[in-house]
Amino acid sequence: MKNCSLLFVLGIMFLLTYVLSSCSVSPVHAAANVVIVSHTGYLHWTGGTYFVVGEVWNQGTTAKDVYVSITYYDASNAVIESDDVYTLIGVVLGGRKVPFWHALDTGAESVHHYNIELHYTEDPIGKPQGIRILSHNSSVVPYPPTNWLYISGQIKNEGPLNTIAIIITATHYNVFGDVVGVSFTAVPSLDSNQVTDFQLVEEITYRESLYHHYELSAESVQYALVPEFPASIVLSLLMM
């Protein structure tokens, strides 16, 4: 009996030692690791603009100043133009995906291919979450000879501070999950706890069959987006 009691006490002491030592260990720092998920280049049906749209994914900690360098070439591999394009969301928290978008006008009809290079900086400060997308829906509206995809919804500032320069983005995917379009809009300001409507518009003329689904994101000067819980996380919380 005494041996059992001694083993029990020793077990408790070991458990406490393990817990306390675990609490005192500094968390492992995972560096920002931003990668390009997918991108698409296409000539607008009127022939005057060449678009490049895509998406990056931060697989590490927070990153900022994320941009891509796009170089356009003609069929003889001569450079038409080279531009740096920042992602539409400035501060990319860990685990998040954000879109980029660029339109080339001069020499658009001569584009044969292009090259992309990714650049970013680690951000140890990050940005607090405070912008929430409350609801959204989409519809296709024809205005012959063009067709337009409209996304309408509501957004709320859940943070304690008033916020300005809210950017709302939509990343459009095909059935395989590749980016085929990017649309965005802006809301000038939102007071704390204020709700407002928003609308994004994307021209899809002659590309209608590519648009399968979309994902929204948002950011303001003060706040990052409050993400929606995936179904698996909600289920886990309910089980707990």
What's residue 32's pLDDT?
A: 79
Report how far residue 135's alpha carbon sits from residue 37's, in angstroms, rounded to the nearest whole number: 26
The string of pLDDT tens digits covering residues 9-51 is: 334 444 443 333 333 333 334 577 999 999 999 999 999 999 9
| Secondary structure class of 169 (helix, strand, coil) | strand
Q: Which residues of 78-97 are buried (b: 16+ CB within 10 A; e: fewer)?
A: eebbeeebebbbbbbbeebb
Share in percent of the chain as helix, strand, coil (round to 5): 15, 50, 30
* DSSP letter assigned to residue 123: -
Question: 122 near 33, Cβ under 8 Å?
Answer: no
- Which pLDDT score, from 0 to 100, does residue 8 have? 43
Q: Are 131 and 225 in contact (CB under 8 A)?
A: yes
Cα distance between residue 43 and residue 205, in whole Å: 12
Strand partners, 217: 169
Cα separation, 103 vs 205, in Å, equals 16
Question: Comparing C-alpha atoms, which of 225, 176, 180, 175 is closest to residue 202?
Answer: 180
pTM of this prediction?
A: 0.82
* Per-residue pLDDT reduced to its tens digit, 194-215: 999 999 999 999 999 999 999 9
Give phi and psi for 217, each to the nearest 5.
-145, 170
| CA 73 to centroid of chain Cα atoms | 28
Tell me how far apart the terminal alpha carbons of the chain are, to the nearest angstrom.
36
pLDDT at position 229 is 56
**pLDDT, averaged in runs of 10, over the chain (240 residues):** 43 40 38 93 97 97 96 98 98 97 97 98 95 97 95 98 98 98 98 98 97 97 86 32
